[in-house]
Amino acid sequence: MQQAIIHNLKRLLILSVALFAFLATTGQITETRAFTKGIYGHPGPLWEEGYKLSELGINAVFVHSGSITHEMMVRAKAEGMKVYAEFATLNGKNYVEKHPEAWAINEKGEKVEAASWFIGVCPTEPGFREYRFNQLRVLLSDFDLDGIWMDYVHWHAQFEEPDPILPETCFCDHCLASFSKNNGIEIPKGNTPEKAAWILKNRDQEWRDWRCQVILDWTLEIRSIINELKPDALLGLYHCPWTDEEFDGARRRILGLDYDLLREHFDVFSPMVYHARMGRQPEWVEENINWFCKRMNIEKETSPKVWPIVQAYNNPYTISAEEFETVLTGGMTGCSEGVMMFTTRAMAESEKKVEKMKDIYKN
């Protein structure tokens, strides 16, 4: 009797395994990914208020690389957090002032002016490239990070404005030489404004394509370093959320962001849907994420993933708790499998915003 029961249990186990395998191969069973419920910024402001991150429903922390400490890592990991470092890739602040050879040059042959909170850098300048890649190597060696989020990944410009700043760059000697060599194009002799004018008139399409390739090259280099030092870490991208047509196609034409070139090299896209900074209504966040999912043909449970970053920061006006709720839930629509807010401090300073976040994240 006992042997018969054991025999039947074995048969049931074998049948169960076979059924599961069949359902998996036919797509009737799919992997369920945990939704990423993040904050952007050092978690200190929440800790100072006595909160424990996991009790607020948070499971991921995104922190500027310069703000990461071993103490923060230990505490965040102890609370069950994934920790991702924001890597300010092409932000030239504090570098171009000491290294003028890396200053981006406009079509007039002049150094570009700082745009709001951003000063770009020449992406082809060898010294800056070495400097940034070394920084990444140190960062990955010092901390057990779950991923790197490339930020400021565009040629010098400012898109977080109702009227964005969109200069033509970069026409320094490094860029002109690289463009000429890579495309087999001989640029006529002359001063910088003359060379720039000739390119924009006669080789505009090749110029735009080459600039997108430069951004792609930065992505490939950073991916290579991650694969070498921390192969299981994710690579994410904070990026301008404009559609293909907005501002006369400026996302690709001026910023150098070609979604089709970049999509296969990133694990996660994080559209920077800062509605207030960009003069949009809160409902625009949901509209934009739905557009992006359709544009990239991304669905849930597929790659790359989409984890938007929404605005809690009180600029240019105070973001109410209700408005924050609208943009946070808007960032969780469509194919989104994660969300975070800019910034932790701005959210932590409002008890009502914290409660909204907790209610959304816990439910």
Q: Where are the domains of the chain?
A: 1-30, 36-362
Task: Based on DSSP, count helices (H) and strands (E) in the chain, helices before strands.
Answer: 13, 9
Mean pLDDT of 314-337: 97
pLDDT over 90 for what percent of the chain? 88
Mean pLDDT of 153-161: 96
> Is pLDDT at 226 greater than 90 in this prediction?
yes
Mean pLDDT of 72-77: 98
Integer CA distances (angstroms), 276 to 1, 176, 279, in order: 73, 37, 5
- The sign of the torsion formed by the CA atoms of 281, 274, 49, 52 equals positive
**Domain 36-362 CATH class label:** alpha beta
Mean pLDDT of 192-213: 98
> Is pLDDT at 23 greater than 50 in this prediction?
no
> Is pLDDT at 286 greater than 80 in this prediction?
yes
Q: Which residue has the higher pLDDT, 345 or 21?
A: 345
Structure tokens of 87? 């890597």
Mean pLDDT of 159-167: 95
> Is pLDDT at 275 greater than 80 in this prediction?
yes
How confident is the model over 137-149, as pLDDT tens digits?
999 999 999 999 9
> Is pLDDT at 20 greater than 80 in this prediction?
no
> Is pLDDT at 31 greater than 50 in this prediction?
no
CB atoms within 10 A of CB 337: 18
pLDDT at site 301: 87
Dihedral angle of Cα 40, 42, 46, 51, to the nearest 10 degrees: 100
Angle between helix 204-229 and helix 246-253 axes, rounded to 10 deg: 50
Mean pLDDT of 164-177: 97
pLDDT at site 33: 52
